[in-house]
Structure 1
Amino acid sequence: MSERSPSPPALERFFTYRLNTLAKLNDMATHALYTAELGLGLSEARTLSSIGSFPQLTVNQLAFEANLDKGQASRAAQSLVDKGLVQKVASPLDGRSVFLALTPKGKTLWRKVMVLVEQRNDELTRCLSDEEYDQLLDMFARMLAQAKAGQQTGRT
């Protein structure tokens, strides 16, 4: 009788795989929604929503908050500057650094983006009860805290 080595678990069993798949499917649906409703690409809409939600962002901070690489964040921010939706404000502490801020026109569009963000959130979580939704948010908060702590100590 020969011994078989155990077969590896199916990739679909892993939380991280499912999380990445969900994120990808959400990105595709969200991109289509932003393009159809606002004429913005996913990077631009993420950039706009982040700048409006987190005060005094630098491009590096924007990249993290918008889940973009630095180059994407820089290009999206510049595109929004060119459209008159975002302005660059010099840092009072460091003349080489700039913060990104919404213009009045950008604030108006930001509110529309946030309505769509809420709509997508509701569509994705519709299958959960209120209690399950609260539990999910709690679990994600704990996982995010753990991931951030791992980043700070060099462990991921």
Structure 2
Amino acid sequence: MPRDAALRLEAYLPYRLSVASNRASRWVARSYEAKFGLSIWQWRVMAVLGGADRLTAQELTAATAMDKVNVSRAVRALIERGLVNRQKHQSDGRSALLELTPAGRSVYDEVAPVALRHEAALLDGFSPDEIRLLTDLLLRLERRAEDLAQD
């Protein structure tokens, strides 16, 4: 194999995306954990539920792109803390609908501004055009990865 065809991990896009995501997530998760006692997985579930009426665990898994096991653990912990409520799905007895409780909504309302401040700090130094471009490129990468996973 020619040397220039070898994998250079530091230049490998999936690796760079993973490292950037892990570092940003760890940084943000520290404040969620310290102030609110939430893991990054629990916050992601709450964030999605905060923007929706009620969702099934399957819909949460799709929305967060998290593993089903992580969604299940996060949901179980949030239910135990009284932050999420599970109700039987009236038209599909095999699934349940999940929603934030009033206490969960209160925590969400406290955490959301913290999340937005973290995002602003992370993007400090980027122009509005760069932020739009980055967002567009990431969305395109997500769609492409999803398309490839379907094949």
Q: TM-score, normalised by structure 2?
A: 0.87
User: CA RMSD for the aligned pairs?
Assistant: 1.9
**What stretches of structure 1 of length at least 5 have no aligned partner?**
none
Match of 1:106 among 98, 104, 107: 104
Equivalences, count: 150
Aligned pairs for 1:37-76 (under 5 A) are 37-76=35-74
- Tell me, yes or no, if structure 1 residue 6 matches structure 2 residue 3: yes
Distance 1:129 1:89, change over 3 A: same
- Distance in 1 (alpha carbons) for counterparts of 2:103 and 2:86: 14
Q: TM-score, normalised by structure 1?
A: 0.85
Residue deviations 1:77-108 (CA, integer Å, cap 9, x gap):
11111111110122121122101101111111
Aligned pairs for 1:79-118 (under 5 A) are 79-118=77-116
Residue matched to 1:122:
120
Q: Which structure has the greater CA radius of gyration? A: 1
**What stretches of structure 2 of length at least 5 have no aligned partner?**
none
Percent identity between the two aligned chains? 27
- Tell me, yes or no, if structure 1 residue 35 matches structure 2 residue 33: yes
Q: Secondary structure at the match of 1:100?
A: strand
Q: For residue 17 of structure 1, report the CA deviation from its aligned partner.
A: 1.4
